[in-house]
Amino acid sequence: MPHIHEIDDLAGDLVDLHYFCGDFCHRSWCLESGTNYGGWNGCHELVSDTPVPCHQCGSLLNVVPDVGDEPDSAPETLQDALDRAAAVLGPMIAADVRRIDRGV
List pLDDT tens digits, range 10-44: 998 999 999 999 999 999 999 999 999 999 999 89
State the Rg of the chain over Cα.
20
- The pTM is what? 0.62
> What is the distance between the terminal CA atoms of the chain, rounded to a whole angstrom?
37
User: 103: phi > 0 → left, psi -120 to 50 → alpha, else beta; which?
Assistant: left
| pLDDT given for residue 7 in this prediction | 93
Examine the pLDDT at 104 and tell me if it is beyond 60: no
pLDDT digits (tens, 9 = 90+) for 61-88: 988 887 766 666 666 788 887 787 777 6
d(CA 104, CA 26): 49
Type and span of the H or E element at 16: strand 14-20
| pLDDT given for residue 71 in this prediction | 61
Q: Name the more confident of 104 and 58.
A: 58
User: 81: phi > 0 → left, psi -120 to 50 → alpha, else beta; which?
Assistant: alpha
Give the three-class secondary structure for 103: coil
- Where are the domains positioned within the chain? 1-67, 69-104
